[in-house]
Chains A and B, each alone.
Chain A
Amino acid sequence: DTEVTQTPKHLVMGMTNKKSLKCEQHMGHRAMYWYKQKAKKPPELMFVYSYEKLSINESVPSRFSPECPNSSLLNLHLHALQPEDSALYLCASSQVARGDYTGELFFGEGSRLTVL
């Protein structure tokens, strides 16, 4: 069983809705990530948090707003999305050791988002 838990597993929203995706890990990892994955494509990095601070934003549109309330939780707030934003949104976490990330990403099962 994955130790990274994502909710909801499925989400359908209209373009005017506001919703949030949630991620939780209890492995003591201090780096957390959001990835977006379209069908039959590899995951694409969106955001990286390190010690609860945003360290990487891969030029993601502002309609996606990440938040890291504490070392175990990561949220992705969604507002005014477009149908092309429909995808599997994956949360991941990894350790940080000696100031560097270990690279061993542990993924959740994802939240499948459909934007109508």
Chain B
Amino acid sequence: QKEVEQDPGPLSVPEGAIVSLNCTYSNSAFQYFMWYRQYSRKGPELLMYTYSSGNKEDGRFTAQVDKSSKYISLFIRDSQPSDSATYLCAMGGSARQLTFGSGTQLTVLP
């Protein structure tokens, strides 16, 4: 079993839809949780960062961490074609050594 599991998709949604992206993990020592967005042939861009548990909101993006279930989520409201990218979750017990999920490829259709 991988330490971090993420559905690779691909996921296609119409413009304006609410998108839910998820990762599960097995290591209870993880306390740093991040979501990155990566456009094709570009480096990953940090979207959301959470230390320990709880929710965080930034504009159209909401990140949730449920440590009891070892489950993290990223919600995108009012999705736009410009949100089309691969979304990577990343987490770790030490911030030096993050484990990335395999990424979910999202396409938002106009």
Contact = CB atoms under 8 A, between A and B. Distances in A.
Interface stretch (A11-19, A72-80, A106-114): A106-114
**A contact face: mostly helix, strand, loop, or mixed:** strand
Given A42-B100, A42-B102, A101 B43 contact: no
Contacts of A4: 43
Interface residues of B, number: 24
B95 A94 contact: yes
A110 B76 CA distance: 26
Interface string A15-36: 0000000000000000100000
A92 B36 CA distance: 13
A31 B44 CA distance: 17
Interface residues of A, number: 29
Contact of B43 (A45, A55, A107): A107
Nearest to A97: B95
A68 interface: no
Interface of B: 8, 32, 34, 36, 41-46, 49, 51, 88, 90, 92, 94-98, 100-103
